[in-house]
Amino acid sequence: MSQRQSKSEAAGNRESERRRTILRAAIDVFARKGYHGCRIADVAREAGVAYGLVYHYFKNKDELLETVVETGWSGFVSRMRAVAEDEGNSLEAKVRGIADVAFEAYRVDPRAVKVLILEVARSPAGTQVVSRQQAFLDTIRMAADMFARAQGTGELRADLDPMLCASLLFGAIELGLTAFVSGLMEDRSPEALDRAKLQIAESFLRGVLPGAATSAEAAWKQEKVSSGTRPKAGKRS
Amino acid sequence: MSQRQSKSEAAGNRESERRRTILRAAIDVFARKGYHGCRIADVAREAGVAYGLVYHYFKNKDELLETVVETGWSGFVSRMRAVAEDEGNSLEAKVRGIADVAFEAYRVDPRAVKVLILEVARSPAGTQVVSRQQAFLDTIRMAADMFARAQGTGELRADLDPMLCASLLFGAIELGLTAFVSGLMEDRSPEALDRAKLQIAESFLRGVLPGAATSAEAAWKQEKVSSGTRPKAGKRS
Amino acid sequence: MSQRQSKSEAAGNRESERRRTILRAAIDVFARKGYHGCRIADVAREAGVAYGLVYHYFKNKDELLETVVETGWSGFVSRMRAVAEDEGNSLEAKVRGIADVAFEAYRVDPRAVKVLILEVARSPAGTQVVSRQQAFLDTIRMAADMFARAQGTGELRADLDPMLCASLLFGAIELGLTAFVSGLMEDRSPEALDRAKLQIAESFLRGVLPGAATSAEAAWKQEKVSSGTRPKAGKRS
Amino acid sequence: MSQRQSKSEAAGNRESERRRTILRAAIDVFARKGYHGCRIADVAREAGVAYGLVYHYFKNKDELLETVVETGWSGFVSRMRAVAEDEGNSLEAKVRGIADVAFEAYRVDPRAVKVLILEVARSPAGTQVVSRQQAFLDTIRMAADMFARAQGTGELRADLDPMLCASLLFGAIELGLTAFVSGLMEDRSPEALDRAKLQIAESFLRGVLPGAATSAEAAWKQEKVSSGTRPKAGKRS
DNA sequence: AATGAATGAGGTTTCATTCAT
DNA sequence: CATGAATGAAACCTCATTCAT
């Protein structure tokens, strides 16, 4: 590649730059006031662009939200899926991995996560284009499949409903994040986030894995003391 | 006494009857389309009354939602609080009691629960009157207090953040209910609901109570099979 | 007359009593908020009667105002007319009589006068039933006739337009009263009212009666003839 | 420079052009139907613009009226003030100047004057933002000050209340204009207007300037008491 | 006669979307 | 690309009037 970009490339970059500015602004405003509570004018003002420019890049307000969601959600889901469907991993590792993905997303962009939680996870059925609601439900179903498979291999207590397990996991993660988003948790330092993530994963696992104390838990307890080796379980160093 | 009520009584009943009809309709419509997605006209049509009558009983749309929420939420919260602050109960009993309250509310009036979940639990901070958002957060804080006290008596693992525990519990319950609300769970029979409630409470407790299996769990296990011991489980690599 | 009234008389009195209560309330509320600024509910509340009763006695809101005006205005006008058309009186006596009538009306019922000023004297042409606007204009015309006759007898300067004289007189009276109504005049004692009445009548008469030209008038007349040097007095060339 | 304006200038003109069009339309419609009697739709139709554009330039209906009033009134008042406070002028010149200003305003824009008279001068106190009513009263007070100063220099009869004089002057002018506005005066030619202006100013001055008592006044005085020597006069007891 | 709940037309206001420059 | 004025449908809310009791 030459150091100078071709004209169209430059334009393309310029365009996508503007586009991204607007998208960014939309996320911020949606996070602050909600989709219904904000006007296109708010997004434009936040982005520092002219009113009409929003319509240059997005067909309408709904597409704007759609794009926000897709952008934020698709990466999230694909990372989630990668973790959940990596058959090389134990269920425990997968669960910890999912928690990692969620909390990492929050660390990187809490506003975007807030929008996803507010506008995607919840919102009346009829209101929106199918995809939005579907996206969330599909993710839960994916997790449910994961749990169902785990039951097949004896990694999950057989008496639990896999769908319910999936709901519990996401419920725990979501309200855990909500606690941060809403200000219920006063300490929002990276360490606090990490602690929360571990407690959530660990409590969930303790609750659903077969047997008494899980090895994971044992390991985790040990980790506190020494340097607990653990097979590729997410990002923990 | 005669079978007819006195005039004022009849009027009083009539009034509150109408009022309740409208409130009921509002719950239904909010549940179906969300607060923003519905028009006063929808509520009026659903209630079978004239447009303006809604404004006879409620100052404006917002007060209507406020009333819906207050009505539904206050009963819910007070029952919740009664359970959580009954010091005669063990933590386990309290947690099960809270699950009972939530699922019973859903059984009695799923629509109302849906509205509470959609419009109260989540919704951008600045938008609403304090009370709505506050109500939800206060409930979580109440549960957090409960868990903190339980740590004092050794009923809860000392290494867990009480606030996080509260979030987990409500997250599990909420997304468990959401699974029903959203149609993720196909079987919505009372039995299925009950099963879900038990699984949620039990998994949560298993996850957060100190020690190995809880007494409840032990009982439950026995009830199910006989020897469900599984060899330390761990991970199949 | 017997001391007891017949039943129908009693009823009639009761009725007119209620009716008068409502009329009274309407005057007060109209005076306070204006016709457009008040609701039937305000009138009912002020009168201490039920909402619908207003409609029992008056066909609609407009008729209510109409009645207020008629009641207040007709007495006013007939007294005015009696003074203006009493050919036994000099013009001066008539003018003073008109001022008497107006200020007496104000003394007796300042609110009613306020309503008459606000809602009758002024108000866009098309808006109202003819009668209201007409009533006011007719009164001015009546006074104009009076002035025209006075010109015939030499009691009024021949160079003045009678219609304009009428306007001036009522303008002076009206804004004089307005000064009291609006609070511009701090002293609202009966004595102050009387003083104002006399000053108004006297100044008006001094201005319009024939007789020795005042120095000011003389100067002005001269200007017309010669080149009236006047120290930069506005736009006159 | 080219004959074409720069873009921003053009835009600026365009904007204020539209704004002025709407303001103009509002004046016309208010004059025709009154503030309460007209709908925003009427203003928009009159201006030949879309419904919503009115709200692009004015926050709401009330601000529209407010702006109409301010625009029309402020120029009027400042011109009035210039005349009233020009100490190089005699009282007589000032009074004539004020009449000039008022009638000139009417000649230039009778509709606007009508609105000012209808919606500003009179209208219930509580209804409006302070400024509107205040503006009118302040103007009267300004004139009252002028008259008070004139009493200090002996230019005005000492026995008159300055505030009342101001009321008389504006009452005369206002109802004089009303006579034209309302159609009482059939001849509305510039000459007729001029004639009216002169008669008003002259009659007023004749009435309030010191100087030889008119015969009428003399007669009246005699009738009342006996020794009505005037000079210092003060308030009659 | 008296009450006040019920009705619904009519007005205001908002704001997504289009369009001319 | 960029701008922001212009558009108008759609929602909210008010309140005069009617009606059942």
Instruction: Check pLDDT > 50 for residue C213.
Output: no
Å between C162 CA and nearest CA of chain D: 10
Q: What is the CA radius of gyration of chain A?
A: 21
How far lies C45's CA from each of A106, C35, C52, in Å?
57, 16, 11
Q: Residue C23 is which amino acid?
A: L
The pLDDT value recorded for residue C39 is: 95
Mean residue pLDDT of chain D comes to: 82
Q: Which of B140, B173, B224 is the closest to A159 by Cβ?
A: B224
Instruction: Check pLDDT > 80 for residue D113.
Output: yes
Distance CA C150, CA C165 (A): 11
Asked which of A60-69, A180-189, D43-52 is least confident by mean pLDDT, the reply is A180-189
pTM above 0.85, yes or no: no
Mean residue pLDDT of chain A comes to: 81
Distance CA B43, CA B60 (A): 12
pLDDT one digit per residue (tens) for chain B, 237 residues:
444 444 444 445 555 889 999 999 999 999 888 888 899 999 999 999 999 999 999 999 999 998 988 888 888 889 999 999 998 999 999 999 999 999 999 899 988 888 887 777 666 655 555 566 677 888 889 999 999 999 999 999 999 999 999 999 999 998 898 888 778 888 989 999 999 999 999 999 999 888 654 444 444 445 444 444 444 444 444
Q: Which of B127, B171, B184 is the closest to A37 by Cβ?
A: B127
Q: What number of other Cβ atoms are within 10 A of residue A142's Cβ?
A: 16
The pLDDT value recorded for residue D126 is: 53
- Sorted by sequence, the CB contacts under 8 Å of residue A120 that are 6+ apart come out as A69, A73, A132, A133, A135, A136
Nearest to D128 by CA among D43, D70, D174, D47: D70
What percent of chain D stands above pLDDT 90? 52
Residue-wise burial string across D148-159, b where 16 or more C-beta atoms lie within 10 A, e elsewhere: ebbbeeebbbeb
Choose between C213 and A28: higher pLDDT. Answer: A28
Question: Which tens digit of pLDDT belongs to each residue from D70-96?
Answer: 888 888 889 999 999 998 999 999 999
| SS3 call for C226 | coil
**Is the CB of A168 less than 8 angstroms away from the CB of B167?**
no
Instruction: Check pLDDT > 60 for residue C168.
Output: yes
Asked which of A30-44, A170-184, C38-52 is least confident by mean pLDDT, the reply is A170-184
Q: Tell me the nt nearest to C37, Cα to C1'.
A: F15
- Sorted by sequence, the CB contacts under 8 Å of residue D79 that are 6+ apart come out as D101
CA→C1' distance for D173 and F2 (Å): 54
Token pair recorded at residue D155 = 């230019």
Predicted confidence band of residue D233 (pLDDT cuts 50, 70, 90): very low
Question: Which tens digit of pLDDT belongs to each residue from A134-166?
Answer: 777 888 899 999 999 999 999 999 999 999 999
The pLDDT value recorded for residue C204 is: 95
Question: Which tens digit of pLDDT belongs to each residue from B187-223?
Answer: 989 999 999 999 999 999 999 888 654 444 444 445 4
Chains C and D touch (3+ CB pairs under 8 A): yes
Token pair recorded at residue A224 = 């506190």
For the ranges A30-34, C199-203, D122-126, the one whose mean pLDDT is highest? C199-203
DSSP state of A216: H
Nearest to C161 by CA among D123, D199, B185, D103: D199
Mean pLDDT on D181-207 = 92
Task: Check: CB of residue C80 under 8 Å from CB of residue C142.
Answer: yes
How far lies B17's CA from each of B11, B58, B74, B143, D17, in Å?
9, 14, 20, 35, 56
Burial (Cβ within 10 Å: 0-12, 13-18, ≥19) of residue A172:
buried
Choose between A134 and A83: higher pLDDT. Answer: A83
- Nearest residue, CA→C1' of E2: C53
Mean pLDDT on A88-99 = 94
Distance CA B128, CA A119 (A): 16
**Is the CB of C211 less than 8 angstroms away from the CB of D215?**
yes
Nearest to C91 by CA among D161, D158, D214: D214
Q: What number of other Cβ atoms are within 10 A of residue D231's Cβ?
A: 10
What percent of chain C stands above pLDDT 90? 51
The pLDDT value recorded for residue D127 is: 54
The pLDDT value recorded for residue A211 is: 67
CA→C1' distance for D183 and E9 (Å): 35
Distance CA C158, CA C151 (A): 6
